[in-house]
Amino acid sequence: MPVVLGIETSCDETGIGIVRDRVLLADEVASSVAEHARFGGVVPEVASRAHLEAMVPTVDRALATAGITLGDLDAIAVTAGPGLAGALLVGVAAAKAYSLALDLPLYGVNHLAAHVAVDVLEHGPLPEPAIALLVSGGHSSLLLVEDVTKTMVPLGQTIDDAAGEAFDKVARLLGLGFPGGPVVDRAARNGDPAAIAFPRALLADGYDVSFSGLKTAVARWVERQEGEIPVNDVCASFQEAVVDVLTRKALRACTDTGVGHLLIGGGVAANSRLRELAQQRCDAAGVVLRVPRPGLCTDNGAMVAALGDRLVAAGIAPSPLDLPADSSMPVELVCL
Ligand code: KG4
Ligand code: ZN
């Protein structure tokens, strides 16, 4: 069975994964998130430099964890896009170097398809077709997955901020630190989700989402308060607005397309309320929900290796060695 090394550097995580026939052998992540904290968001140049420093040590760690050497690898997969151009470039250059030096096939893959494929490591073969909701600091996409090794059909996306970006911005305006998702999630557990009626943009139309107005509504509401801000209630009400819209649209996509499986991925899929509400609404609609464990939802190399493993198994041709890092790689394109 072929052993696939996956390299992920599209944002601030240097992720290296090793997969053999849907079995995860190693999943090592070096994050530069702490270096971005004081800026309140990811600084692309800082992320690129951190990838450069972390690349070789993280690959070595992954090999050690898997108990193998470079000579045991059969293919290399790397995130070719979408993502931060400079950050992607580090991963793609490293992947080409390993591929050339070891004479191994190289697969330049789509980050979003990798977020979908990772679920096979935990829950077995993907039910296809499936609807995928991918929500992170960089993306908010609703996709129809017919075959993750071939193509994904975009149904909707954010027209402004990504869902995770909204969490990060709201956390920042409340002075809760970065990244905002986990802190808001925790604060919300002690708050009332019905305390403040924040807007749910585009709820009735289509599959696109918008979170910029919601973020502004939270800012205006906070500004208007005299005295202490009820942080827990603000977090709970904001979070409820986000997950209400996301789950409603995802379920509507399932109903409209007649697809009985929903898969959720991306950093925001770690959100406890999103997981809970998605489960409730899927149960009510008779839809089977699949969400990988939180560590596989945030960016990692295992997801890239998982997709690479599926591409090899499906007999898909490798990418040319001159493949580009494509910061705006279209979602329809699974592999370059
Ligand atoms: O997938 P990811 O690690 O990287 C990107 O591709 O962006 O996602 C990071 C995003 C951040 O915006 C972070 O605030 C958000 O995921 N996030 C969460 C939670 N954990 C992480 N958002 C809401 N609730 C959480 N528990
Ligand atoms: Zn991601």
CATH of the domain at 9: 3.30.420.40
Q: Is 323 within a domain?
A: no
**Ligand 1 mean position, distance from CA 266 (Å):** 7
Q: What is the pLDDT of residues 36-79, one digit of tens each?
A: 888 878 899 999 999 999 999 999 999 999 999 999 999 999 99
- Which of ligand 1's atoms lies nearest the C-alpha of 83? 6
For 6, which DSSP code?
E
pLDDT at 150: 95
* 49 and 198 inside one domain: no
Report CA-CA distances (Å) from 45 to 51, 80, 172, 259, 299: 10, 18, 21, 41, 18
In-domain check, residue 335: no
In terms of Cβ atoms closer than 10 Å to its own Cβ (0-12, 13-18, 19+), residue 223 is: exposed
Sheet holding 130-135, edge to edge: 151-157, 140-147, 130-135, 261-265, 288-290
pLDDT of residue 188: 98
Task: Give the Cα separation of 322 and 106 in Å (integer).
Answer: 10
Ligand 2 centre distance from Cα of residue 137 (Å): 7
Residue 326 lies in a domain: no
Same domain, 112 and 177: no
8 Å CB contact between 199 and 158: no
Q: Which of 268, 293, 329 to mutate to test the pocket of ligand 1 (most atoms within 8 A of CB)?
A: 268
Q: Which atom of ligand 1 sits closest to the CA of residue 164? A: 12
Contacts of 283 (CB under 8 A, 6+ apart): none
Centre of ligand 1 to C-alpha 34, Å, is 14
Say if residue 136 is in the same domain as residue 285: yes
Whether residue 137 has its Cβ less than 6 Å from ligand 1: yes
Q: Is residue 320 part of a domain?
A: no
Looking at the CA of residue 42, tell me the nearest atom of ligand 1: 7
Domain shared by 81 and 152, yes or no: no
Residues 149, 266 within the same domain: yes
* CB of 8 shorter than 6 A to ligand 1: no
Q: State residue 201's pLDDT score.
A: 95
Atom of ligand 1 nearest to the CA of 167: 14
Please give the Cα distance from 215 to 242 (Å, whole number): 10
Site to substitute for ligand 1 among 14, 43, 136, 243, most atoms within 8 A of C-beta: 136
Cα–Cα separations (whole angstroms), residue 127 to 9, 49, 148, 151, 219: 28, 38, 10, 14, 41
Asked whether the whole model's pTM tops 0.75, one would answer yes
pLDDT for the residue 71: 98
User: In terms of domains, do 218 and 136 share one?
Assistant: yes
Low-confidence ranges of the chain (pLDDT < 50): none
- Report the b/e string of 25-43 with b at 16+ CB within 10 A: bbbbbbbbeeebeeebbbb
Q: Is the CB of 15 under 6 A from ligand 1?
A: no
Ligand 1, atom 13, lies closest to the CA of: 181
pLDDT, position 60: 98
Measured between alpha carbons, how far is 104 from 100 in angstroms, rounded to an integer? 7
What is the token pair recorded at 197? 């009626």
User: How is residue 248 annotated by DSSP?
Assistant: H
Stretch (H or E) spanning 108: strand 106-110
Calculate helix-pair angle for 272-285, 180-188, nearest 10 degrees: 70
Q: Determine the structural domain holding residue 240 and report its residue range.
A: 127-293
Question: Contact 222/174 with Cβ under 8 angstroms?
Answer: yes
- Segments of 199-334 assigned E as strands: 261-265, 288-290
Which pLDDT does position 130 carry in this prediction? 98
Mutate to test the pocket of ligand 1, among 88, 115, 167 (most ligand atoms within 8 A of CB): 167
**Do 205 and 154 belong to one domain?**
yes
* HSE toward the beta carbon, residue 38, CA cutoff 13 A: 2
Residues 108 and 151 in one domain: no
* Distance from residue 138's CA to the centre of ligand 2 (Å): 7
- CA dist., res. 214 & res. 250, Å (int): 19
Instruction: Report whether residue 181 contacts ligand 1, using a CB cutoff of 6 Å.
Output: yes
What's the pLDDT at 55?
A: 98
* Count of the separate structural domains present in the chain: 2
Q: Does any ligand 1 atom lie closer than 6 A to the CB of residue 156?
A: no
For β-strands 23-31 and 13-20, DSSP reports them as antiparallel
The pLDDT, as a whole number, for residue 283 is 98
- Regarding whether 132 and 93 lie in a shared domain, the answer is no
In a domain, 328, yes or no: no
Residues 90 and 167 in one domain: no
- Looking at ligand 1, which residue's alpha carbon is closest to its atom 18? 181
| 327 lies in some domain | no
| C-alpha of 191 from chain center | 27
Residues 14 and 101 in one domain: yes
Residue 330 lies in a domain: no
Same domain, 269 and 304: no
Does some domain include residue 322? no
Largest CA distance in the chain: 66
